[in-house]
Amino acid sequence: MSSSTAEESARSEAAMLPSPTPVQLINERGVAVDNDTETAAKYPMPSPEALMRAYDKLVTGRRVNDQAGALVRQGKMAVYPSSHGQEACQVAAALCLDAQDWLFPTYRDTVAVMTRDVDPVEVMVLLRGDWHSGYDPIEHKVATQSTPLATQLLHAVGVAHAAKLKGEDSVVVAMCGDGASSEGDFHEALNFAAVFHVPVVFFVQNNQYAISVPLSHQSVAPSLAHKAIGYGMPGERVDGNDLAGVLSVLGTAVQRARDGGGPTLVEAHTYRMQSHTNADDATRYRTDAEVAEWAPKDPLVRMKKYLTDAAVLTDEAEAAIGDDAERVAATLRDGLNSEVSVDPDDLFKYVYSEPTPQLNEQAAMLRDELSREGE
């Protein structure tokens, strides 16, 4: 190898490694970070309008999490895995996409799905328990929320691959958690994406836990973002509670994918402020002191401070944003408080394009049973 190609490959390898510390544009005190020129050029501060729009969604996202928690306690929903504390990631994952792009969310990414303007009550169908998914994935270009961990990452690669073959200008953002990064499918998805050079951004919300298991039990790599270089794609890490930072880092990765630059792995450092779901008890495996350390890093507090100091967020604007959030919360309450009628025939209708003779028989048996019950 000549020295110039050796230098070149060293440079391209270095470019795949994440920043030495998570990228941050606005710090915990709500003050803009004075980044070096290279970082600032790569990850520019979003415009005040973009930040205001995102802040509005952020406030709504928090309100949705709180409202859903209340609805679970009232027995209106089967379960709710809250993204409380992770709303900056949720909002940015949706806002970095254009209409022709796709989102692949998990069970925890309800707020991201809603931020992509899917009807909140339709989104909650899964967690309310009347069907496995309530919205049309094709219409919204939002896949069903995935529970079998990391499996959706391969579907994202497939959508991107098809888009590439069809000459579509779409990018796919595929979400997963820190725990899911240990699954075999995570490895296969990243490798496929890199080998086929498809427009996918893998977005890992590292919220430090997989139910009770801390990150230290998942991986001893320097960071999850460091895994990217092993597949031959760039990795980046970002302060996941800094809305501006996540918007910028995801924006850069999405643009790169759109320009034919291939996949990127983005790891957001954040924290699951509540239990895994309402069925979990986080006090069994982590201390209140640890949770308290993360409280001041809250994504809402710092955005509000920054936008207020910049005189972009006025009292009237704040009030209007609060109204938006209350409207969504009210929609959720009304939707989930109203009795849904489930149709037992639905059990058999959608197993195949056309029900088999056996399914028709079973449906008839159930109808007969129910009609006799009614007698």
Binding site for other proteins (CB under 8 A): 78-79, 126-132, 147-149, 179-180, 182-185, 210-213, 217-219, 279-280, 284-285, 340, 342, 344, 346-348, 351, 356, 358-359, 362, 366, 369, 373
Partner whose footprint covers residue 344, from other proteins, Mg ion, ligand TPP, none (CB < 5 to 8 Å by kind): other proteins
Considering beta carbons, is residue 208 or 252 the nearer one to ligand TPP? 208
C-alpha–C-alpha distance, residues 71 and 332, integer Å: 9
The backbone torsions φ and ψ at residue 278, rounded to the nearest 5 degrees and listed phi first, read -60, -20
Please say which residue, 24 or 218, places its beta carbon nearer to other proteins.
218
Name the amino acid, one letter, at 223: S
How many residues touch ligand TPP (CB under 6 A)?
A: 15
- For the record, the structure tokens of 374 come out as 């009614």
Using CB under 5 A, which of the segments 27-35, 209-217, 303-311, 348-356 binds Mg ion?
Answer: 209-217
Q: How many Cα atoms occupy the beta-carbon half-sphere of 357 within 13 Å?
A: 0
SS3 134: coil
Sign of CA dihedral 46, 48, 50, 54: positive
| CA distance linking residue 203 with residue 109, whole number of Å | 12
- Alpha helices per DSSP H over 214-355: 227-231, 243-258, 288-294, 299-309, 315-337, 346-349
Least spacing, CB of residue 177 vs ligand TPP, in Å: 2
Q: Does 147 bind ligand TPP (CB under 6 A)?
A: yes
User: Looking at the chain, how many residues does it have?
Assistant: 375
Nearest distance from C-beta of residue 235 to ligand TPP, angstroms: 17
Residue 132: contacted member of other proteins, Mg ion, ligand TPP, none (CB under 5 to 8 Å, by partner type): other proteins
Question: What is the contact mask toward ligand TPP in residues 228 to 267, using x (rule: CB under 6 A)?
Answer: ----------------------------------------
Is 182 in contact with 211 (CB distance < 8 Å)?
no
Q: How far apart are CA 339 and CA 314, in angstroms?
A: 40
179 binds ligand TPP (CB under 6 A): yes
Stretch that binds ligand TPP, among 62-70, 171-179, 262-270, 361-369 (CB under 6 A): 171-179
Q: Which residue in this structure is represented by tokens 């992509």? A: 116
E strand or H helix that includes residue 37: helix 37-42
From the list other proteins, ligand TPP, Mg ion, none, which binds 364 (C-beta under 5 to 8 Å, kind-based)?
none
Residue 322 token pair? 């609060």
Closest to ligand TPP by CB, 59 vs 149, is: 149
Interaction of residue 177 with Mg ion, rule CB under 5 A: yes
User: Residue 231 and residue 320: Cα distance in Å, rounded?
Assistant: 45
**Token duo for residue 138:** 């094709």
If one asks whether residue 178 binds ligand TPP (CB under 6 A), the answer comes out as yes
Give min distance, CB of 216 to other proteins, in A.
10
Contact pick of 272, 297, 302, 304 for ligand TPP (by CB under 6 A): 272
Out of 146, 207, 218, 270, point to the residue binding Mg ion (CB under 5 A). 207
Q: How far is the CB of 240 from ligand TPP (least distance, A)?
A: 12
Q: For residue 85, is it left (φ>0), alpha (ψ between -120 and 50) or beta?
A: left
Rounded Cα gap, residues 257 and 9, in angstroms: 21
Nearer to ligand TPP, 177 or 335 (CB): 177
Three-class SS of residue 364?
helix
Contact status: 85 vs Mg ion (CB under 5 A):
no
Q: In the complex with ligand TPP, which residue's Cβ is closer, 19 or 86?
A: 86
DSSP conformation letters of 149-212 = TTHHHHHHHHHHHHHHHHT----EEEEEETGGGGSHHHHHHHHHHHHHT--EEEEEEE-SEETT
Of 283 and 314, nearer to other proteins (C-beta) is 283
Partner whose binding site includes residue 196, from ligand TPP, other proteins, Mg ion, none (CB under 5 to 8 Å by kind): none
In eight-state DSSP terms, residue 284 is G
The site for ligand TPP (CB under 6 A) is made up of 108, 147-149, 176-180, 207, 209-211, 272, 276
The site for Mg ion (CB under 5 A) is made up of 177-179, 207, 209-210
